[in-house]
A and B are shown apart, each in its own frame.
Chain A
């Protein structure tokens, strides 16, 4: 942690960490504390008086069917995004491992959606599926399917899952490629000499050896689906129709900015913080384990 050879005590190290610590205190610790405190308050409609109500906000949330619905939707949404984005990326990574020529070209063509902002990705997908104009909506129409994600909740959810998945494939792909390439070649060659075909080798050697990466990516993908997809949902559906795509992070924003229920919004923030902390701890335990190998 500390270098064996280091500089002696002085004022300098304090000055060096000061900017980072100042930003952390003012914009992280203080607001987080505020959220914690606010989650225990109830404010009246006009913001004139506040009352300290202990865990009332949390109790209300967990008996609120809308909130529980948002919880379930978030679980479904992140599960769908994580499995699809990881599944497609794994297939592509396994295929890249098979070929010799063109690896760089394929990689280049596959990674750019990572750079696209979530809200821009949302705009692209909402354009392609626009019920009256969109190219996919038109294609579905010609085969007799009437697509309208503005009215149909299931279709709205499908669309946000597609957009969120599209953006995340690149990230997973790069990690899978790195993981597969780090497997020692003699293992695979030995299996090939023993007569195992490409598919058998994939399932019995490559797949088990990349499970740590898969676990890491699962956590990252869930965190992504939980928090980084706000822009996608805001651009495509605004949580609608009839809350069909309202996930937790969207609801925090909506309750705070549109419905102005700050106590409830703060309580939801606190719950989300707890979720992030749990996921970060899980992720770090994994990284530590990897270091021990």
Chain B
């Protein structure tokens, strides 16, 4: 604070409160809709204040799902989403750590060639090469499997770059000391590099978990068996199945559940999240 100008301070708070309202209003409306019964959700105007059906709707959605007898229960979709997000996040971090280690600490033929090959993955988002990739996965017989949903997404140029940056800042003396003490490469990796990059691993985990949880187009193409549906896909199917008269209270309950885990991860690891976002530059 440079000078005391009450007017500007009040203006700043007002603008921020307005910003928060703008950002939070859709989420509030979602929450409110999830707490009412079906009948109330067909009367205009819709409620702005929560009702008392929250746990009834929660139970219905979690155990029975939305859209009739054959609907996938949301707990199963949540479990699928969680598994997919964890596999993608852990997979990305693991293979990026290994390849960054190789590129920074070893001299070997084609080192730069490999580096550039990884770099190229940065340029090709999955949406762009969606059908050819789908065909490869289909040819490999990986449709309707957790491997098919995750492995094509786990190559990560950003993560490799970030770990490379981190490793380059680690003093050379570390390696010299480790070698004097007789540590081999993998021992050095496990006992020195991993502990030193712990905060970066956590930061990256937050970003990659959200990325994995929010995947939509890819699982939509890869899975046709309802047992593999993720909750993010499930919402769209509910919107579609109920084109005529959507069960908004149940759909919004599912939406609430679908955004809960990533929001919890972001808010509980806020510092890590901001660090991960601003340091990897996406």
Tell me if A16 and B41 are in contact (CB < 8 A). no
- The reply on A98 being an interface residue by CB < 8 A is yes
Tell me if B29 and A28 are in contact (CB < 8 A). no
Q: Which of A1, A34, A127, A134 contacts B132 (CB 8 A)?
A: A34
- The reply on B203 being an interface residue by CB < 8 A is no
Tell me if B95 and A23 are in contact (CB < 8 A). yes
B11 / chain A contacts, CB cutoff of 8 Å:
95
Least distance between A254 CB and chain B CB atoms (Å): 11
- The reply on A75 being an interface residue by CB < 8 A is no
Tell me if A128 and B26 are in contact (CB < 8 A). yes
Q: In chain A, residues 105-148, which have Cβ atoms closer than 8 Å to a Cβ of chain B?
A: 106-121, 123-128, 130, 132-135, 138
Tell me if A115 and B266 are in contact (CB < 8 A). yes
Residue of A nearest to B122 (CB): A280
Q: In chain A, residues 51-83, which have Cβ atoms closer than 8 Å to a Cβ of chain B?
A: none
Q: How large is the interface on A (under 10, 10 to 19, 20 to 34, 35 or more residues)?
A: 35 or more
A2 / chain B contacts, CB cutoff of 8 Å:
103-104, 107, 111
Annotate A18-50 by CB proximity to B: 1 below 8 A, 0 otherwise: 011101111111111011001000000000000
A19 and B114 CA atoms in complex are apart in Å by 12
Tell me if A126 and B239 are in contact (CB < 8 A). yes
B contacts with A, residue count (CB < 8 A): 103
Interface core residue of B1, B30, B214 (most chain A CB under 10 Å)? B214
Tell me if B255 and A27 are in contact (CB < 8 A). no
Tell me if B29 and A124 are in contact (CB < 8 A). yes
Interface core residue of A111, A189, A192, A230 (most chain B CB under 10 Å)? A111
* Contact (A252, B20) CB under 8 Å given A119-B236, A192-B3: no
* Contact (A133, B42) CB under 8 Å given A28-B155, A96-B16, A227-B127: yes
Tell me if B108 and A127 are in contact (CB < 8 A). no
- The reply on A6 being an interface residue by CB < 8 A is yes
Q: Which of A13, A30, A116, A249 contacts B127 (CB 8 A)?
A: A249
Q: Which residues of A contact B (CB under 8 A)?
A: 1-10, 12-14, 16-17, 19-21, 23-32, 34-35, 38, 88, 91-92, 95-96, 98-100, 102, 106-121, 123-128, 130, 132-135, 138, 166, 169-171, 174-175, 178, 188-189, 192, 198, 216, 220, 227-228, 230-231, 234-235, 249, 252-253, 256-257, 262, 265-266, 269, 272-273, 276-277, 280, 287
